[in-house]
Amino acid sequence: MMRRVPFAWLLPVSLLVSLLACLAVCPVSGALAQEKPESPEVHDESPFIIRYVEITGSISPAQTDFLQSAMDAASNEGAGLLIIRLDTPGGSGEAMRDMVRLILNAPVPVAVWVGPAGAHAASAGVFIVAAADVAAMAPQTTIGAASPVGPGGEDIKGTMETKVKNDIMSFIRGVAEARGRNVQWYEEAVDKAVSITAKEAVLKHVVDLIADSPDDLIQQLGKRGIPYHGESIRFDPDTVVIHQQEPGFRHAFLAWLLDPQVAYFLLLGGMAGLFFELATPGAILPGVLGGLSMLLALYAMSILPTNAAGLIIILFGLVLFLLELHVTSYGLLSVAGVVSLFVGSVILFKSGQGAEGVDMLTIIVTVSGVSLLLLLAVWLAAKAHRARPSGGSEGMLGTRGVVQRWSGGRGTILAHGELWNAVSEEAGEYAAGDVVRVLRVDGLTLEVMLEEPSDTIHPAHPSHPAHSTTTKGDS
C-alpha cells in the first residue's frame, strides 16, 4: 500500500528544487553574458580618411578661402587628418595670419608637407609650417627668409621696419612655442632672414620629419602617430582613403583676381576705358569693359591690403583728365593727372604686408601707357569738338550748300553733310552742282540764293569755308 505524501511537504520541496536549479543555471548565464561582448572587440576595419589640399604660389585671401573649404570638407566627412602640400614664396601678411588661425583651430589634425623636391616655404610659408600639428619637408627643399618686406619686395626702413618686425616676431614666437618647435630659429628667420634645408630643419627641430612624398608621410605618421590636443592619433596606413581637395572655378577666379598686379592692371585699364567712352561717346565697348574692370578692381582692393589714400589719388587723376576736356589749361591738368596716377600707384598697397605687390618698374610702365591712352582720348575729343558741324536754325543762316536737284523753284541741297529741302525766289532754274547760300530757315525748308554756278566748281567737292567754321547748334 502506497504511502501518500502530505501536501504540506510538497511546497517546500518544490521551492528547494527550483532554488537549486537557479543556482545551477545562473553561473552558466553569467558566463554566456561575459562571452557575448567579445564580438564587438574585433578591430574596426573602417577606412581612415585623409583630406589632401595643395597650397602653391602666393599666399592670398583666395588661398585662405580654399583652405577653409578643405577644412570644412574634412570635418564633414569625418577625416582623421588634413595634409597640406605647401610651396610658396610668401604673400599677404593678413592672409597668412588667417591661415595660421585656421590651422591652430582646425577641427582635425593638420600636417604641412613642403614638397616636392625643389619646393620652398619662404616668408609667409614659414608661419604656416610652424602652425602645423605635424611639419614635414621633402629632400632638397628649403624653409626660411621670413623677414617682412614691402609690397614690391623692397626692404622696409626705419621705424616701420622695427614696428612690423617686432609684431611678426612675437606672432611666430607664440606659434612655435605652442607647437614645441625651435623658437630661436623661427625668430631668426624673421629677424635675419635665415634659410635652411630640410635636413638642417629636422636637426634643429624646426620641422618634425623628412618625407619623400605624401605617401611616405602617411606611412611614417601611421607608425609614430599624430599629435593632437595632447594625444597621439594612430591609424593603419593600409586602410587610408585620400580625398583630394580640387579648386573650383570660384577659387581659381579669386586667386587670379586677388593678385595685386592683376587688380592694379584692372584698375588703371578700367579707368582708361571709362575715360575713353566719356571723351568720345558712342564707342560703347570701351565703356562696358572699363566699367566691368573697375568693379572687379574695386572688389579686389576691398580685400587686398590697400591704402584708401592711394586709390583716392588715382581717381583724382582721372578727374583731372576729365577736366582737361572742358578747361583750357594748356596741358597743365594732364600733367597733374599723370603725377596723380603715379603717386597713387606707389602708395596703393600697404608696406610690410607680403612679398608680392606692384614693383616700381611695373608702375612706371603702366602709368606711362595709361597716360598715353588718356591723352590720346583728350586729343580725339578736342579734335572732334573743333570739327563739329554747325546746325540748327540760327547755325544754318549764311552757310553754303550744293544743289542736288532742282525744278520749279524748289529742290534739295546738300549742306553740312545733310540733304535739305530748299526754295528760291530768284528767277530761273538752278543746276545740279550750283553753290547756294542760305538766307532764311522755315522749319525744315531753307530759302537760298545762287552764289556760284556749277561751271565754276565741281558738284561733288564744293570748296567753301562754311564747312570749316563752327556755329551754334548741331545739324
User: pLDDT digits over 200-243, tens only?
Assistant: 999 999 999 999 999 999 999 999 999 999 899 999 999 999 99
CA dihedral 269, 273, 278, 281 (to 10 degrees): 170
Phi, psi of 278 (to 5 degrees): -70, -35
Q: Are strands 195-197 and 142-144 parallel, antiparallel or unpaired?
A: antiparallel
pTM reported for the whole predicted model = 0.64
Backbone angles phi, psi at 308, to 5 degrees: -60, -35
Q: pLDDT tens digits for 257-308?
A: 988 899 999 999 999 999 888 887 777 898 999 999 999 999 998 888 788 8
What's the pLDDT at 303?
83
Q: Which fold has domain 392-468?
A: OB fold (Dihydrolipoamide Acetyltransferase, E2P) (2.40.50)
**Cα–chain-centroid distance for residue 474?**
46
- For the cut 80, the answer to whether the pLDDT of residue 459 exceeds it is no
pLDDT above 50 for 120: yes
Torsion of CA 204, 206, 212, 216, to 10 degrees: 110
Q: What is the pLDDT of residue 3?
A: 42
Contacts of residue 412, defined as CB under 8 A and 6 or more positions apart, other chains included, come to: 403, 404, 405, 419, 420, 421, 422
pLDDT of residue 27 exceeding 90, the answer is no
C-alpha dihedral, 426 to 432 to 436 to 439, nearest 10°: 60
pLDDT given for residue 162 in this prediction: 83
The mean pLDDT of 316-340, rounded to a whole number, is 88
At residue 391 the predicted structure's pLDDT band, cuts being 50, 70 and 90, is low
- Say how far apart CA 125 and CA 72 lie, in whole Å: 22
At 214 the pLDDT is: 97
pLDDT at 35: 36
The answer to whether the CB of 126 falls within 8 A of the CB of 189 is: yes
Q: Give dist(CA 196, CA 89) in Å, integer.
A: 14
Residue 184 burial class via C-beta count within 10 angstroms: exposed 0-12, middle 13-18, buried 19 and up? exposed
User: Residue 111's beta-bridge partner residues?
Assistant: 83, 134
Cα 118 from chain centre:
27
Within the chain, all domains assigned CATH 2.40.50.140 are found at 392-468
114 or 165: whose pLDDT is higher?
A: 114
* CATH homologous superfamily of 48-248: 2-enoyl-CoA Hydratase; Chain A, domain 1 (3.90.226.10)
Q: Which set of grid coordinates corresponds to residue 4?
A: 501518500
For residue 182, which phi and psi values (nearest 5 degrees)?
-70, 95
- DSSP structure string for 94-118: HHHHHHHHHHHT-SS-EEEEE-STT
pLDDT, position 421: 92
Q: Are 23 and 53 in contact (CB under 8 A)?
A: no
CA triplet 78, 80, 84: central angle to 5 degrees?
110
Smallest CA-to-CA distance from 321 within 263, 373, 386 is with 373
The DSSP letter of residue 466 is G
Question: Is residue 331 classed exposed, middle or buried when 0-12, 13-18 and 19+ CB atoms within 10 A define those classes?
Answer: exposed
CATH 3.90.226.10, the chain: domain bounds: 48-248
Amino acid at 346: V
CA dihedral sign of residues 374, 380, 382, 384:
negative
Give the model's confidence band at 393: pLDDT under 50 very low, under 70 low, under 90 confident, else very high.
low
Q: Is 114 helix (H, G, I), strand (E, B) or coil?
A: strand
Residue 401: beta bridge partners?
436
Q: How confident is the model at residue 140 (pLDDT cuts 50, 70, 90)?
A: very high
- End-to-end Cα, the chain, rounded Å: 150
